[in-house]
C-alpha cells in the first residue's frame, strides 16, 4: 500500500496567521491519465470528514479561498492563508492513484 506521511501531526496556530501541512507519499501519485489524485479532507470535531481539495489544487464548492493545495509527484502541501476559528479540526491527505486508497495519519490544527 502507498504510505501517506503527514507533518506536523499537531499544529497550534494563532488566529489570522498562516498554516501549512505537508503530505508525502511513498510512491508517485501521477496516474496513467496524467492527473495526480491527491485530495485533502477536513474533519471538524464531532463531524464527518469533508473534502476541501481534489487533484492537488482544485477547491471544492463552498470551500473558502484561504485554503489552497499544491505539490507534485510525492510531495504535497495544504495551506491556510489566515486561520479562522472554524478551521480547527483534523486534516487528512488521501491518495486515490493506487488501490487501495490510503489516507495520511491526520494533522490536528488547534488555536494557540
Nearest C-alpha neighbor of 11 from the set 3, 2, 25, 23: 23
Least Å distance, CB 80 to other proteins, is 19
What is the β-pairing status of strands 58-59 and 19-25?
unpaired
Least Å distance, CB 16 to other proteins, is 29
Measured from the CB atom, the residue of 66 and 101 that comes closer to other proteins is: 101
- Between CA 14 and CA 18 the distance in angstroms is 8
Least Å distance, CB 30 to other proteins, is 12
The C-alpha cell at 73 is: 509527484
Cβ(96)–Cβ(33) under 8 Å?
Answer: no
Measured from the CB atom, the residue of 89 and 104 that comes closer to other proteins is: 104
Least Å distance, CB 74 to other proteins, is 17
| Residues of the shown chain interacting with other proteins in the complex, contacts defined by CB under 8 A | 1, 31, 35, 37, 39, 41, 48-51, 54-55, 60, 92, 94, 96-97, 99-106
Measured from the CB atom, the residue of 24 and 51 that comes closer to other proteins is: 51
User: Hey, is 74 helix, strand or coil?
Assistant: coil
Amino acid at each position: 500500500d502507498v504510505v501517506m506521511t503527514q507533518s506536523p501531526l499537531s499544529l497550534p496556530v494563532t488566529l489570522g496567521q498562516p498554516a501549512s501541512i505537508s503530505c508525502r507519499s511513498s510512491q508517485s501519485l501521477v496516474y496513467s491519465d496524467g492527473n495526480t489524485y491527491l485530495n485533502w479532507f477536513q474533519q471538524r470535531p464531532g463531524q464527518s470528514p469533508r473534502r476541501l481539495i481534489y487533484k492537488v489544487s482544485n477547491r471544492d464548492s463552498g470551500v473558502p479561498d484561504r485554503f489552497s493545495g499544491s505539490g507534485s509527484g510525492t510531495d504535497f502541501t495544504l495551506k491556510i492563508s489566515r486561520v479562522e476559528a472554524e478551521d480547527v479540526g483534523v486534516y487528512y491527505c488521501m491518495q486515490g492513484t493506487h488501490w487501495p486508497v490510503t489516507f495520511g495519519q491526520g494533522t490536528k490544527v488547534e488555536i494557540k
